[in-house]
């Protein structure tokens, strides 16, 4: 720096001005250029037409180049005149000129690639202008001082250059017009955008009223799912790509055969590589920004050093102080801009990563084999999507710290060495000591984490099953047993959490103390080595500022390491899932139809994998089916009928042989799979709508009467898993879907079992049979109904996975084998059905009200005309307002203070306040220690040493250590665990206590979301956020106090800045919170859709609808990211504005220090400025944390939400509990009983007066929807009585507790539901019975042989939903449950629908013999089962119309007679 005559005029030397200041912008642009150029090449957003703005920019660029080179030619001219100037007069214009050309090229290149506004160029023009300002100032000073030797030409060119730069910078702030042919609305990545109006508009909107989904911008093209997942899929494995497309086995089949499955190892390594290839290039940009930011960080302490020198040197001119102050401010502002550009890139990368991972998982789930499905349960896969994808997002923000942290540490140490010399080594030693400690902690954390994830997976899996089978739990009164199971898992989880909380406390303790210990050891060594070493303000505070910088990378490194560790755990889980076996599309050969009679051949021997543990070797089978024929498959329960169909669909693992299927396939599974969509969508299933065909199909499948009843016809939304349809209706919808799609081959897995006899007959005639819609198609029908067999072309008889006989009906009778035997037993009763004449249509639809045989949501079933007159005037569109499932709603407005209060109460108030108090003490100690340091540095220096050094050092050490101890005690209190335990317990209890209607209204996705995501947030996100929030709050307050101590005049400026800050913060939080809510609400559909897909994956594959489902998933993910993207930008928007507030505080702290420099000691100046340097970061954290806290505390709100729901009656009531022997005789009386499903609906049952004596066997019959099931629901009090009462053995059941009642009545429900766990647990969850009892009940249920053949016998693990048992076996397990309970009253709900006749006979005889003395109520579909009962109740429209013994009713020729006639019993 040059001092001319006047020491007040400081400026840089000519040499510095013409070299360094010119090179800075040039170097920046040349370093950015290669990376930026590559990035633009890869991301073409469309072409932007030439606009005036663009022309102006280009022209200015060229003029700048000409101006620079004019200087160059001037220098050449001078040389020819023999005036030799310094060489930089040649170098400078050359370099600048070339750089300007490059800039001009980039302006054009960006236009061609569709960049509307460029951050890179803006920063370039900004830096150029800043450098030029310095030169410009010195030129003016120079011109004023020396008039004689002015270089007029160069002055002129420089002024032109300066003005042009200024204009370029301004032009750069205007965005270009949008590119042609692009949907991109705006590209919010650039710096201007963060400062711009576009976002402010959204903010203002968000502040005025809660944002809604329609206010959000559309995603950029390169952030959309299809754009991201496509390349990833292609890279990750070529095999997968073809899987999805190999629909019509053409060329891809060949190609696939050539690709040998890559070995395990290679695919493992590749996942990371692939992610890197896909997202690396964009992410690399962040490296540059990070590096620039790191370098700027160290400018602060250096300027501080100059400032303190300035305050100490009373002779220094005033403008110096102001110059440093300005410099400090400019540095801080630049740092802000660069940092947030960096963060933006990181967050966008994170978002894309998440999109990619969800997309890849979804695509994989569609092609994974069934055996692999078993290893990854639904719960785990959903966790992969939610939790693990989130891990990757978090990692993207941290990963750069891997190289940046060491860089910062090295720089800081270098500067410290310059300041304090070798004594820095003491500090370094302390740091090095702390690193292994932190590493050990990180490793421990990893092990805990894995353990916690495992418990969590198990818990979610169990919850999933509980929610799926909640009806059974309620009917059996098993809630408590399952609650205990969940809490047991939760207890393990909390144990681990507690351990990791203690670890975290230790880690935090080392972090809090680390910077302090480092400072203490360094200062102690420094002052004790040599008496002459004086700790003055400059040394102490510059070192402190550097130590504070050091603190960040050292704190971050463990976090980064643990984040990488977490991500690697997640990566491994992902990799395991993605390398699961996939279905081999070659296992069945699909060909187009050729003119030939054989439609498919089949020769297979295979091992059915769902029973891998039994490995029943299935079928060595040979058979061919001619085109257009109708084949029936019959056989006992569990003999492999359904597996045969799975084999035809390619779902099984083929061992040898081949399967050929010609043409397209339609499949009707045994358990109907219904989507959560309108009824029409379910039938059409992605095909084109064809009115006439649609009508024909609906009619043939007997859906017309049902559609008339549904509130909005076929536009009615069907709930998840079809909750508002009965079993029969679901089956018919499933059938209609198959018929509508008009395939060549139809596979029916027993679709007639779930429907009433007359409906079954109608369907067979109109659809499946020889005269039905499908008469020219090839049909394979698995069935138990004998009466249809004579009409079949071929019958296959299966036993134990073999085909024992095949042939036509007549042939098989002639052979007189097992089949003939089988027939003789059953056919007598049913044969006559053939002759019983056709059903009249009128009878068919005689009030087919919405059948309620399997579910209880008759709330939808009532015709809605009576709900209110207002309803009638609404247009149809609004009729949808009765929507069945309630979407996950987003709360609006601020989070109420009560939520925080609830959280504190969940922790316990005493502990909450104690923690806050300890935290405060901790911070006060920290402030005191630094204040003491400033007093120490101001000690006068006498004879080159300071007095009292030891006292000062001692007190400093004591304060620091007390701070550490306070911190430790505070962190030791793991208050988070109390809250977690308490809130989860409440949530679980409340959900289990909710009535059935609640589960029908609420999609299981929402509930699972509460149990996984929200509880996870409460467990592991909220506690650290609260710690950081409190930390930042006290830090900011502390910094303000120090600044006020040093320069009281700051009191004028801090309040207004605080106000600005609060305004920005309120503004931001309003928007950000709502965005977060929108994001979490739009997350639910992703999971619901995913769950649904997993349940129906075989159907989706059979219909070859994978593409459409993948597309739906992409759309849902994009909707979710649409809410997430603005929230990233919101964070940037906020941070930039806040940091400017912080920068202003730095500016004023320094300014006031400069103005009052005569009154202030250097120590105080150092203290106040070094605190103000930190304040920016703290402010940033504070807002970040306060908004994080608000957005995450929503989890508490959502968990509490279910606590306020309606509950069922008490489980047990002490006062009225009946005697333990009740009911003695089992007498049931209905007195004037009436039932409705919801307040605003009609009575479903009305005025029922029946007395059933103990031990009577009663059959309940009636057309579908007559209220048969409703009767049982009333008996179990799933729905409470609307009028009248039910009395069992003299006790009114409404007066006793629900469990007291439900334990005493047994039901065999319609859909047999098992839970994953041992078979024993499924039979007796409370462990009340001995093994002998259980074996006896199994024997009576005809399961003994099956169970004793299992390797684990009673401990045989049932899969999720009992999927490794056949439906018939599950039904028998339910029978065994009933036999175990042996209660006086038994209710059968169509228990025999899914069982073949033989098993049915066994069940009936078991019930007759075992429940001799009991009262049995049977809801019958097959009338032949109840012909020998004591009495039959006939219900119609909710009233008892006939009642008497079967023979008596047949003579009366009423409704019962007509039904018996339909079934061919008369």
Residue 375 has pLDDT above 80, yes or no: no
Q: What is the pLDDT of residue 695?
A: 87
Q: What angle do CA 859, 862, 864 make, to 5 degrees?
A: 105
Residue 1022 has pLDDT above 60, yes or no: yes
Average pLDDT of the segment spanning 474-488: 86
Residue 178 has pLDDT above 50, yes or no: yes
Other CB atoms within a 10 A radius of the CB of residue 803 amount to: 18
Q: What is the pLDDT of residue 170?
A: 84
The number of angstroms, rounded, from the C-alpha of 1283 to the middle of its chain's C-alpha atoms is 45
Average pLDDT of the segment spanning 91-110: 86
How confident is the model over 229-268, as pLDDT tens digits? 766 666 665 444 333 333 333 333 333 333 333 334 444 4
Distance separating alpha carbons of residues 1092 and 1113, to the nearest angstrom:
11
Q: Secondary structure of 57-98 in the HEC alphabet?
A: HHHHHHHHHHHHHHHHHHHHHHHHCCCCCCCHHHHHHHHHHH
Distance separating alpha carbons of residues 543 and 301, to the nearest angstrom:
8
Distance separating alpha carbons of residues 362 and 1093, to the nearest angstrom:
9
Backbone φ, ψ for residue 149 (5° rounding): -90, 60
Distance separating alpha carbons of residues 965 and 485, to the nearest angstrom:
40
Specify the higher pLDDT residue, 173 or 239: 173
Distance separating alpha carbons of residues 1275 and 1267, to the nearest angstrom:
13
How confident is the model over 486-496, as pLDDT tens digits? 899 889 888 88
Distance separating alpha carbons of residues 870 and 317, to the nearest angstrom:
83
| Residue from 934, 959, 963, 941 nearest 543 by CA | 934
Instruction: Name the band, by pLDDT with cuts 50, 70 and 90, for residue 1046.
Output: confident
Instruction: Name the band, by pLDDT with cuts 50, 70 and 90, for residue 1286.
Output: confident
DSSP 509-573: HHHHHHHHHHHHHHHHHHHHH-TT----HHHHHHHHHHHHHHHHHHHHHHHHHHHHHHHHHHHHH
Q: What is the pLDDT of residue 19?
A: 76
Other CB atoms within a 10 A radius of the CB of residue 1409 amount to: 9
Cα dihedral 999, 1000, 1004, 1009 sign: negative
Q: In what order do the strands lie in the sheet with 1415-1419?
A: 1305-1308, 1385-1389, 1415-1419, 1257-1261, 1431-1436, 1439-1444
Specify the higher pLDDT residue, 438 or 257: 438
Beta bridge mates, 1229: 1251, 1287
Q: What is the pLDDT of residue 235?
A: 60
How confident is the model over 101-112, as pLDDT tens digits? 888 888 888 888
Give me 1112's structure tokens: 């739906």
Instruction: Name the band, by pLDDT with cuts 50, 70 and 90, for residue 697.
Output: confident
DSSP letter (8 states) at residue 967:
H
Q: What percent of the chain has pLDDT over 70?
A: 83
Residue 1051 has pLDDT above 70, yes or no: yes
Other CB atoms within a 10 A radius of the CB of residue 1058 amount to: 15
Residue 849 has pLDDT above 50, yes or no: no
Instruction: Name the band, by pLDDT with cuts 50, 70 and 90, for residue 1070.
Output: confident
| Residue from 1342, 1328, 1278 nearest 1305 by CA | 1278
| Helix, strand and coil percent figures for the chain, each rounded to 5 | 65, 10, 25
Weakest mean pLDDT among 87-96, 193-202, 870-879 = 870-879
How confident is the model over 579-592, as pLDDT tens digits? 887 877 777 776 66
Q: What is the pLDDT of residue 2?
A: 44
Q: What is the pLDDT of residue 400?
A: 82
How confident is the model over 792-801, as pLDDT tens digits? 888 888 877 7
Residue 1054 has pLDDT above 70, yes or no: yes
Distance separating alpha carbons of residues 745 and 627, to the nearest angstrom:
9
User: Given the structure tokens 């709603």, which residue do they identify?
Assistant: 889
Exposure of 1006 in the CB half-sphere (CA atoms within 13 A): 19
Across the chain, mean pLDDT equals 76
The number of angstroms, rounded, from the C-alpha of 315 to the middle of its chain's C-alpha atoms is 64
Instruction: Name the band, by pLDDT with cuts 50, 70 and 90, for residue 11.
Output: low
Contact 664, 1104 (CB under 8 A): yes
Average pLDDT of the segment spanning 192-214: 58
Give me 1410's structure tokens: 């075992």
Give me 626's structure tokens: 């001619």
Instruction: Name the band, by pLDDT with cuts 50, 70 and 90, for residue 398.
Output: confident
Exposure of 545 in the CB half-sphere (CA atoms within 13 A): 28
Q: What is the pLDDT of residue 542?
A: 81
How confident is the model over 725-761, as pLDDT tens digits? 777 888 888 888 888 888 888 888 888 877 777 788 8
Distance separating alpha carbons of residues 1355 and 613, to the nearest angstrom:
13
Weakest mean pLDDT among 191-200, 201-210, 408-417, 721-730 = 191-200
Average pLDDT of the segment spanning 1241-1252: 83
Average pLDDT of the segment spanning 276-300: 82
Contact 1294, 1280 (CB under 8 A): yes
DSSP 1295-1359: GS-HHHHHTTEEEE-SS----SEEHHHHH-TT--S-HHHHHHHHHHTT-HHHHHHSTTGGGPEE-
| Residue from 1373, 1361, 1372 nearest 1313 by CA | 1361
User: Given the structure tokens 């939520």, which residue do they identify?
Assistant: 899
Backbone φ, ψ for residue 849 (5° rounding): -70, 165
Average pLDDT of the segment spanning 1116-1135: 81
Alpha-carbon separation of residue 1227 from 501, 541, 624, 1254, 1385 (angstroms): 58, 90, 57, 4, 9
Other CB atoms within a 10 A radius of the CB of residue 948 amount to: 11
Distance separating alpha carbons of residues 540 and 301, to the nearest angstrom:
11
pTM for the complete prediction? 0.63
Q: What is the pLDDT of residue 201?
A: 61
How confident is the model over 56-65, as pLDDT tens digits? 888 888 888 8
Weakest mean pLDDT among 123-132, 371-380, 1102-1111 = 371-380
Give me 683's structure tokens: 């039938």
Give me 142's structure tokens: 């120079």
Q: What is the pLDDT of residue 599?
A: 44
Q: What is the pLDDT of residue 412?
A: 85
Contact 619, 644 (CB under 8 A): yes
Q: What is the pLDDT of residue 620?
A: 56
Q: What is the pLDDT of residue 149?
A: 66
Specify the higher pLDDT residue, 184 or 137: 137
Average pLDDT of the segment spanning 915-940: 82
Q: What is the pLDDT of residue 833?
A: 39
Distance separating alpha carbons of residues 1299 and 479, to the nearest angstrom:
9
Distance separating alpha carbons of residues 1236 and 208, to the nearest angstrom:
44
| Residue from 1013, 1006, 1010, 1017 nearest 986 by CA | 1010
Q: What is the pLDDT of residue 148?
A: 61
Q: What is the pLDDT of residue 249?
A: 35
Q: What is the pLDDT of residue 432?
A: 76
Q: What is the pLDDT of residue 873?
A: 31
Give me 973's structure tokens: 């209190």
Distance separating alpha carbons of residues 886 and 894, to the nearest angstrom:
23
Angle, helix 424-468 to helix 401-420, in steps of 10 degrees: 160
Instruction: Name the band, by pLDDT with cuts 50, 70 and 90, for residue 209.
Output: low
Other CB atoms within a 10 A radius of the CB of residue 954 amount to: 12
Exposure of 143 in the CB half-sphere (CA atoms within 13 A): 12
Distance separating alpha carbons of residues 655 and 652, to the nearest angstrom:
9
Beta bridge mates, 607: 617, 653
Average pLDDT of the segment spanning 454-466: 86
How confident is the model over 793-824, as pLDDT tens digits? 888 888 777 777 888 888 888 887 777 776 76
Give me 271's structure tokens: 């996942």
Question: Dihedral angle at the C-alpha atoms of 865, 870, 871, 876, nearest 10 degrees?
Answer: 120
């Amino acid at each position: 720096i040059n001092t001319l005559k006047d020491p007040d005029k400081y400026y840089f030397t000519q040499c510095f001005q013409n070299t360094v200041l010119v090179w800075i912008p040039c170097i920046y642009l040349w370093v950015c250029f290669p990376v930026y150029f590559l990035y633009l090449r890869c991301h073409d957003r469309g072409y932007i037409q030439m606009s005036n703005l663009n022309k102006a920019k280009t022209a200015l660029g060229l003029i700048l180049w000409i101006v620079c080179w004019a200087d160059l030619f001037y220098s050449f001219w001078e040389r020819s005149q023999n005036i030799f100037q310094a060489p930089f007069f040649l170098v400078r214009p050359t370099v600048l000129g070339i750089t300007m050309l490059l800039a001009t090229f980039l302006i054009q290149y960006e236009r061609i690639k569709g960049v509307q506004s460029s951050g890179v160029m803006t920063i370039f023009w900004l830096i150029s202008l800043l450098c030029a300002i310095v030169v410009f100032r010195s030129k003016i000073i120079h011109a004023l001082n020396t008039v004689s030797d002015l270089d007029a030409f160069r002055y002129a060119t420089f002024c032109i250059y300066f003005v042009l730069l200024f204009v370029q910078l301004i032009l750069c702030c205007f965005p270009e017009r949008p590119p042609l042919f692009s949907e991109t609305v705006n590209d919010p990545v650039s710096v201007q955008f963060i400062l711009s109006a576009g976002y402010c508009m959204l903010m203002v909107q968000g502040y005025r009223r809660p944002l809604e989904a329609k206010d959000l911008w559309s995603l950029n093209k390169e952030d959309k799912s299809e754009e991201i997942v496509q390349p990833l899929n292609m890279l990750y494995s070529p095999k997968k790509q073809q899987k999805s497309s190999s629909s019509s086995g053409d060329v891809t089949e060949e190609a696939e055969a050539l690709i040998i499955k890559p070995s395990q190892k290679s695919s493992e390594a590749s996942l990371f590589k692939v992610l890197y290839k896909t997202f690396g290039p964009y992410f690399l940009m962040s490296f540059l920004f990070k590096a620039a930011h790191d370098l700027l960080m160290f400018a602060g302490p250096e300027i501080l050093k100059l400032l303190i020198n300035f305050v100490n040197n009373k002779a220094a001119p005033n403008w110096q102080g102001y110059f440093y102050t300005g410099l400090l401010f400019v540095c801080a502002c630049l740092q802000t801009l660069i940092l947030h550009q960096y963060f933006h890139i990181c967050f966008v990368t994170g978002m894309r990563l998440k999109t990619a991972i969800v997309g890849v998982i979804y695509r994989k789930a569609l092609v994974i084999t069934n055996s692999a499905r078993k290893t990854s349960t639904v719960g785990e896969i959903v966790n992969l999507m939610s939790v693990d994808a989130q891990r990757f997002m978090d990692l993207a923000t941290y990963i750069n710290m891997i190289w940046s942290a060491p860089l910062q540490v090295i720089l800081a140490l270098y500067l410290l060495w310059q300041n304090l010399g070798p004594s820095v080594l003491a500090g370094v030693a302390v740091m090095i000591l702390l690193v292994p400690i932190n590493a050990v902690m990180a490793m421990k954390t990893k092990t805990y984490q894995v353990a916690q994830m495992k418990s969590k997976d198990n818990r979610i899996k169990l919850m999933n099953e509980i929610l799926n089978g909640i009806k059974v739990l309620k009917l059996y009164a098993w809630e408590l047993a399952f609650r205990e199971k969940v809490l047991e898992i939760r207890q393990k989880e909390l144990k681990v959490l507690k351990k990791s909380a203690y670890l975290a406390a230790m880690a935090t303790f080392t972090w809090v103390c680390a910077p302090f210990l480092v400072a203490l050891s360094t200062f102690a060594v420094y002052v004790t080595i040599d008496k002459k070493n004086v700790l003055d303000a400059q040394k102490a505070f510059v070192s402190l500022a550097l130590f504070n910088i050091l603190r960040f990378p050292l704190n971050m490194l463990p976090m980064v390491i643990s984040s990488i560790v977490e991500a690697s755990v997640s990566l491994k889980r992902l990799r395991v899932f993605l390398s699961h076996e996939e279905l081999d599309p070659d296992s069945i050969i699909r060909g187009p139809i050729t003119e030939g009679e054989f439609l498919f051949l089949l020769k297979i021997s295979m091992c059915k994998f769902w029973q891998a543990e039994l490995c029943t070797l299935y079928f060595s089978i040979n058979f061919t089916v001619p085109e257009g024929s109708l084949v029936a498959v019959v056989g006992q329960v569990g003999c492999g009928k359904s597996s045969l169909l799975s084999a035809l669909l390619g779902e099984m693992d083929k061992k040898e042989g081949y399967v050929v299927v010609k043409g397209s396939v339609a499949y009707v599974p045994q358990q109907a799979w219904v989507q959560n969509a309108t009824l029409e969508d379910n039938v059409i299933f992605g095909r084109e709508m064809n009115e006439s065909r649609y009508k024909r199909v609906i009619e043939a499948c007997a859906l017309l009467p049902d559609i008339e009843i549904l509130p909005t016809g076929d536009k009615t939304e069907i709930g998840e898993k079809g909750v508002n349809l009965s079993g029969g209706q679901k089956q018919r919808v499933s059938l209609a879907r198959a018929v509508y799609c008009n395939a060549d081959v139809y596979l029916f897995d027993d679709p007639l079992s779930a429907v009433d006899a007359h409906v079954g007959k109608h369907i067979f005639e109109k659809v499946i049979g020889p005269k039905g819609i499908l008469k020219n198609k090839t049909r394979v029908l698995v069935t138990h109904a004998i009466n249809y067999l004579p009409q079949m072309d071929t019958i296959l008889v299966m036993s134990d996975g073999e085909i024992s006989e095949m042939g036509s009906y007549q042939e098989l009778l002639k052979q007189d084998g097992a089949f003939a035997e089988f027939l003789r037993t059953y056919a007598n009763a049913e044969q006559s059905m053939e002759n019983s004449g056709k059903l009249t249509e009128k009878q068919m639809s005689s009030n087919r009200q919405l059948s309620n045989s399997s579910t209880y949501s008759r709330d939808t079933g009532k015709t809605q005309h009576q709900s209110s007159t207002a309803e009638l005037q609404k247009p149809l569109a609004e009729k949808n307002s009765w929507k069945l499932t309630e979407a996950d709603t987003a709360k609006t407005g601020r989070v109420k203070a009560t939520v925080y209060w609830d959280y504190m109460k969940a922790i316990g108030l005493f502990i909450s306040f104690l923690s806050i108090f300890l935290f405060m003490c901790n911070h006060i100690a920290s402030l005191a220690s630094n204040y003491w340091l400033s007093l120490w540095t101001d000690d006068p220096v006498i004879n080159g040493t300071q007095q009292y050094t030891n006292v000062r050092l001692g007190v400093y050490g004591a304060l620091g250590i007390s701070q550490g101890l306070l911190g430790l005690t505070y962190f030791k209190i793991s208050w988070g665990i109390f809250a977690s335990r308490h809130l989860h317990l409440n949530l679980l209890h409340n959900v289990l206590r909710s009535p059935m209607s609640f589960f029908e209204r609420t999609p299981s996705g929402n509930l699972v979301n509460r149990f996984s995501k929200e509880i996870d947030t409460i467990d592991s996100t909220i506690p650290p956020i609260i710690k950081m929030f409190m930390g930042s709050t006290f830090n900011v307050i502390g910094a303000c106090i120090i600044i006020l101590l040093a320069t009281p005049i700051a009191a004028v400026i801090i309040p207004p800045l605080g106000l600005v800050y609060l305004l920005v913060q309120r503004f931001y939080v309003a928007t950000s919170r709502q965005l977060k809510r929108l994001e979490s609400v739009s997350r639910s559909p992703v999971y619901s859709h995913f769950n649904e897909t997993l349940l129906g994956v075989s159907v989706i594959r059979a219909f070859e609808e994978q593409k459409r489902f993948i597309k739906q998933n992409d759309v849902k993910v994009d909707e979710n990211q649409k809410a997430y993207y603005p929230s990233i930008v919101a964070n940037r928007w906020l941070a930039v504005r806040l940091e400017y507030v912080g920068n202003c505080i730095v500016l004023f702290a320094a300014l006031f220090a400069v103005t009052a420099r005569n009154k202030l000691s250097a120590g105080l100046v150092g203290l106040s400025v070094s605190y103000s340097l930190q304040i920016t970061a703290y402010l940033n954290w504070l807002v970040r944390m306060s908004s994080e806290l608000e957005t995450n505390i929503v989890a508490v709100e959502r968990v509490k939400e279910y606590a306020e729901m309606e509950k069922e009656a008490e489980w047990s009531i002490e006062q009225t509990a009946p005697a333990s022997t009740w009911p003695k005789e089992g007498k049931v009386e209905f007195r004037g009983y009436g039932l409705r499903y919801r307040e605003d609906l009609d009575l479903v049952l009305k005025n029922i007066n029946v007395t059933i004596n103990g031990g009577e066997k009663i059959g309940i019959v009636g057309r579908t929807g007559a209220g048969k099931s409703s009767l049982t629901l009333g008996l179990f009090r799933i729905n409470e009585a609307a009028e009248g009462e039910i009395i069992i053995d003299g006790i009114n059941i409404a007066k006793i507790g629900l469990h007291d009642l439900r334990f005493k009545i047994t039901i065999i429900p319609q859909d047999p539901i098992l839970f994953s766990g041992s078979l024993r647990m499924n039979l007796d969850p409370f462990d009340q019975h001995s093994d002998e009892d259980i074996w006896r009940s199994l024997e009576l249920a005809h399961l003994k042989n099956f169970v004793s053949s299992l390797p684990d016998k009673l401990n045989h693990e049932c899969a999720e939903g009992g999927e490794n048992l056949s439906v018939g076996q599950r039904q028998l397990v339910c029978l065994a449950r009933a036999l175990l309970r042996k209660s006086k009253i038994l209710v059968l709900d169509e228990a025999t629908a899914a069982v073949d006749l033989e098993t049915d006979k066994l069940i009936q005889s078991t019930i007759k013999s075992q429940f001799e003395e009991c009262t049995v109520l049977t809801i019958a579909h097959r009338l032949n089962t109840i012909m020998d009962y004591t009495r039959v109740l006939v219900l119609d429209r909710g009233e008892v119309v006939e009642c008497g013994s079967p023979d008596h009713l047949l003579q009366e020729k009423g409704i019962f007679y007509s039904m018996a006639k339909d079934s061919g019993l008369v």
